[in-house]
Amino acid sequence: MNVLIVATAQYLLYVLAAIAGLVWLTRPRTDKIMLAAQSLVGLALVGVGIWVAGALHVDPRPFVHDPSSAALFAHAADNGFPSDHSAAGGLLAALLFPYRRLVGVAIGAGAVLIGVARIAAHVHHSQDVIAGLGIGLSAGVLAVIGVRWLAGVRSRRMSTFV
């Protein structure tokens, strides 16, 4: 069971990212450009969100807080708030949902699984995972809305010159 927890906690995010890459490859050129722009904006927003949240709230990892609960894999004894892995999973889910709803939901479920596995592996508390998912989802939604809005403004401006 520990092997499954460790594999999910450490490697499922790579599988989710590969699925996101496959979705990107199957989209038409205009969607690829939009999704790439949304991804860049989303990554910037999630990075700022993680940095701000970590600066505002310090939460020692479970194996630091309670040495009797050893982590299932080697991990730095730094601030566990928020979960970077959960934030990345939430970001992927929010970015892909507008393009492939079922895939977005599946990636969201995978992000939750990653969070649960990281709690079970004693490297995060539940609040770390919930905050990470919230930051990732929020960053993704803001990126999708913002880039679509900017693309609409740009296309309206270009049509006035024609």
- Segment 62-89 mean pLDDT: 89
- Is the model's pLDDT at 3 over the cut of 80? yes
- Segment 66-90 mean pLDDT: 90
How many Cα atoms sit within 13 Å of 133 on the Cβ side? 17
Cβ neighbours of residue 2 closer than 8 Å, sequence gap 6 or more: 72
Question: Which pLDDT band, with edges at 50, 70 and 90, does 77 fall under?
Answer: confident
Q: Is the dihedral of CA 147, 21, 141, 105 positive or negative?
A: positive
Q: Tell me 98's DSSP state.
A: T
Question: Which pLDDT band, with edges at 50, 70 and 90, does 161 fall under?
Answer: low
Average predicted confidence (pLDDT) for the chain? 94
For residues 95 and 39, the answer to whether their CB atoms sit within 8 Å is yes
pLDDT tens digits along 91-138? 999 999 999 999 999 999 999 999 999 999 999 999 999 999 999 999
Other beta carbons less than 10 A from residue 91's beta carbon? 30
For residues 90 and 17, the answer to whether their CB atoms sit within 8 Å is no
Residue entry with tokens 């939604």: 141
3-state secondary structure of 60: strand
CA dihedral 145, 103, 9, 123 (to 10 degrees): 30
Kindly state the tokens that stand for 94: 């929010």
Residue entry with tokens 């979960």: 83
3-state secondary structure of 79: strand
What residues does each domain of the chain span?
2-70+78-160
Cα 146 to chain centroid, rounded: 17
Residue 70: the pLDDT is 85
- Is the model's pLDDT at 162 over the cut of 80? no
